[in-house]
Structure 1
């Protein structure tokens, strides 16, 4: 069942069962997952009126306020949820994640739930959230080893929970797909590009591993008056899947010759499908940012669709990236996020793929290093815009002023002036990150922002 049909079905059920809190909660969470804050705001008034004594009413309101950047309103709602359900891990974690000042009683309650046997009787989802919350507080207090212990408990439990649902990291399958990509994507595929689409709209693809700075780059670009942000669209992977199905080829199969008529017709249809998807999302500007880490794998396909579109690959020092991922509590996640050894393998395969794109893809293929960006934004941002073919605008130097919802784990960071405080966050945990390359500064490995030379 699609998200749209889920939404319609749940809406119908709320009309049929106006006093059923579970149905209303499901609808609210679907709207939140679809990032439809307008529809959610309309539903919220119903939730407050009918289900004000239910914790989920205040959790949903807190999540919406958090996405809007209203930390005070979010904190008020999370505290209301905790008054109704003191052991709610979801409320505990999100309150900590807001980075607001906590009362000593609130910190004590989180510690008690994380460290006492009573906490072990809670549902797994609550325990995961509580261990992440306690770990975050310990890390902020400078207690590195206790923090790591609770991060490990949270991640081990999250990985086990995913395993119970059949969600596991398959390194062998990922390696086979990488080998197929390295073999099948070759320079000749780009020698006969499609003509321009004939509209004054250019996608800007922002890729990179999660927590590599993609949300910050999107925020910077979206601060420009001629740019709009699409968020984590799934258009690219969906269009590519339909494209391969149309040609009758699997994900590991090579494409036909670039002069093949069927290939060019399928590419033209895929591009039209992608652009229609942008319009359906209300995204219509001179430049539209499509920020999705998964687009890194399909960068070759995206270049075939849009020969002139900037593809920005965000990079970050491996230890910093690994710790940022391991210490993050994602609402939707993959199993490798929770295992440092699996993570190291993912990083290595990702680097091999990007090295392939670096030598293969026609420009503009732009690499941007997080550390260099945050240390010298006044230098790097104008360079990034120039590489993308976007005229400079001073608003991009203050991306924290942009008023837009942010749903990623970087929701708090992008609402502050650009800073370099996170660069060294990993260092107290260095002994736990030996699986990763001993590179202190990612910019030592590659230039910070460039059109990659072929």
Structure 2
């Protein structure tokens, strides 16, 4: 089954696991494996049932509690998810990951037993490996910040990030150099040559920018419209381009289009549309969504390709105060964002990303990209929600203002926040002193 999963043959893997259950229905691990694969496919209701069956067979296994918590939180059942994390803590009070899951969902109070237990674990941190120590410090950083002790919390974030950074082989020159080369190849002249080419579909919407910049909120607003579907942070565009490169080597070039025919470009555009539509597993209508939102934020590097393949695609750039953005990134143990674990690297990445976005805004016709500032959105939600919806070519629908009532699956780090009405407490968040922030400020070019 592992090989099938590696080949992305998820349906076949599930079928094999179910065949095992026909003969051995009491295998908790097999039910759990099916649940994990169903979650991966976006079938959260089915995943929940499989995991509940696994839990019923092995009720004292804390890892099953955390699996249930993850599915529940993505479904928007935040209180139930938090309860599962607390049950996992009760079963395995020495596991830092359980506390980290809890504090990402709930604001602890100073007298919460979970915070007391976290503080006790911190005195024993030397007995944990680096990964578990990092989880412990991330959890304490969040909990202490929530209880009004941000300076103490930041000291734990520093330790947590240092532990994570030491385990990575992040190649900063390669990453920043690749961003610089994009603007060298996709010049204004090259972009102008794309006129009158590309797929006619207006279905794709791309939200780009930095993590923690309000992108999940924007997607949730759009996904609350009855004609739009939010696919989340999906690798669909990157997967499509990898497959295109396998078929046609010209796609491997930094500027591939001179070596590609219009038919080859249209085939790639159509492949993406087919893939992204298959992700709309819970779309309730017989006709496909008018718009499908892809919130993979680093697609800002592919804006030139997006414009060439789908001239009518909408591109929304979410922006937030640079220091607030970077400090928020620094507080979260992202799985795949290696640039976020060092303040200097984080600042330099942010600076290069903004330079590339400035290039796109200069190279493309005015109003091609809609910039949405998080601070503006929070201060005047009705105005900016209507602006977003109008840019996407949709008629206004008041459901877009009730985004927190939308029960769609959300998998990002903001999954708890978008289940509540809009709040302003994240504006102008607490900041350490300038000396502590020096690496970040220098990385940003002293921006912000």
C-alpha separation between the residues in 2 aligned to 1:205 and 1:420?
A: 25
C-alpha separation between the residues in 2 aligned to 1:18 and 1:121?
A: 38
Match in the other structure for 1:450: none
How far apart are residue 176 of structure 1 and its match? 2.8
Q: Does the CA-based 8 Å contact 1:319-1:433 persist in structure 2?
A: no
C-alpha separation between the residues in 1 aligned to 2:183 and 2:208?
A: 18
C-alpha separation between the residues in 1 aligned to 2:294 and 2:74?
A: 19
C-alpha separation between the residues in 2 aligned to 1:431 and 1:7?
A: 53
Residues 14 and 293 (structure 1), Cα distance of their counterparts in 2 relative to 1, 3 Å cut: same
Match in the other structure for 1:204: 205
C-alpha separation between the residues in 1 aligned to 2:34 and 2:132?
A: 21
Q: Does the CA-based 8 Å contact 1:180-1:252 persist in structure 2?
A: no
What's the Cα RMSD here? 2.5
The one-character-per-residue Cα deviations of 1:149-207 (angstroms, maximum 9, x if unpaired) are: 1111111112223x3xxxx22121123312321121123344344667566x5111111
Q: 2:132 matched to 1:130?
A: no
How far apart are residue 347 of structure 1 and its match? 0.8
What does residue range 40-55 of structure 1 map to in structure 2 within 5 Å?
40-55=47-62
How far apart are residue 335 of structure 1 and its match? 2.1
C-alpha separation between the residues in 2 aligned to 1:338 and 1:391?
A: 41
Residues 380 and 172 (structure 1), Cα distance of their counterparts in 2 relative to 1, 3 Å cut: same
Match in the other structure for 2:321: 317
How far apart are residue 334 of structure 1 and its match? 2.5
Gaps of 5+ in 2: none
The one-character-per-residue Cα deviations of 1:413-447 (angstroms, maximum 9, x if unpaired) are: 1122222210111434554333234555xxxxxxx
Q: 2:75 matched to 1:68?
A: yes
Q: 2:100 matched to 1:93?
A: yes
Q: 2:36 matched to 1:38?
A: no
Secondary structure (helix, strand or coil) at the match of 1:297 reads: helix
How far apart are residue 4 of structure 1 and its match? 3.0
Q: Does the CA-based 8 Å contact 2:231-2:294 persist in structure 1?
A: yes
How far apart are residue 34 of structure 1 and its match? 4.4
Residues 84 and 11 (structure 1), Cα distance of their counterparts in 2 relative to 1, 3 Å cut: farther
Match in the other structure for 2:177: 176
Deviates more, 1:353-362 or 1:337-346: 353-362
C-alpha separation between the residues in 2 aligned to 1:428 and 1:377?
A: 29
Q: Does the CA-based 8 Å contact 2:118-2:140 persist in structure 1?
A: yes
Residues 95 and 233 (structure 1), Cα distance of their counterparts in 2 relative to 1, 3 Å cut: same
How far apart are residue 383 of structure 1 and its match? 1.9
Q: Does the CA-based 8 Å contact 1:3-1:30 persist in structure 2?
A: no
Q: 2:394 matched to 1:390?
A: yes
C-alpha separation between the residues in 2 aligned to 1:21 and 1:190?
A: 58
C-alpha separation between the residues in 2 aligned to 1:281 and 1:256?
A: 28
Match in the other structure for 1:220: 221
The one-character-per-residue Cα deviations of 1:279-318 (angstroms, maximum 9, x if unpaired) are: 2213621111111112110011111111011111111111
TM superposition score normalised by structure 1: 0.86
C-alpha separation between the residues in 2 aligned to 1:52 and 1:415?
A: 29
C-alpha separation between the residues in 2 aligned to 1:179 and 1:48?
A: 50
How far apart are residue 30 of structure 1 and its match? 4.3
Match in the other structure for 1:159: 165
How far apart are residue 133 of structure 1 and its match? 1.2
Secondary structure (helix, strand or coil) at the match of 2:9 reads: helix
Number of positions where the alignment pairs a residue of Structure 1 with one of Structure 2: 428
Secondary structure (helix, strand or coil) at the match of 1:229 reads: strand
What does residue range 8-407 of structure 1 map to in structure 2 within 5 Å?
8-9=12-13, 12=16, 15-16=19-20, 25-101=32-108, 104-114=112-122, 116-117=123-124, 119-161=125-167, 163=168, 168-186=169-187, 187-193=189-195, 197=199, 202-249=203-250, 251-257=252-258, 262-282=260-280, 284-330=288-334, 332-362=335-365, 363-407=367-411
Deviates more, 1:3-12 or 1:361-370: 3-12
Deviates more, 1:28-37 or 1:15-24: 15-24
Deviates more, 1:149-158 or 1:180-189: 180-189
TM superposition score normalised by structure 2: 0.87
Deviates more, 1:316-325 or 1:173-182: 173-182
Residues 225 and 105 (structure 1), Cα distance of their counterparts in 2 relative to 1, 3 Å cut: same
C-alpha separation between the residues in 2 aligned to 1:135 and 1:182?
A: 38
The one-character-per-residue Cα deviations of 1:67-111 (angstroms, maximum 9, x if unpaired) are: 122222112211221222111222111112211556632211011
Q: Does the CA-based 8 Å contact 1:207-1:292 persist in structure 2?
A: yes
Residues 104 and 275 (structure 1), Cα distance of their counterparts in 2 relative to 1, 3 Å cut: closer
Gaps of 5+ in 1: 441-454
Secondary structure (helix, strand or coil) at the match of 2:232 reads: coil
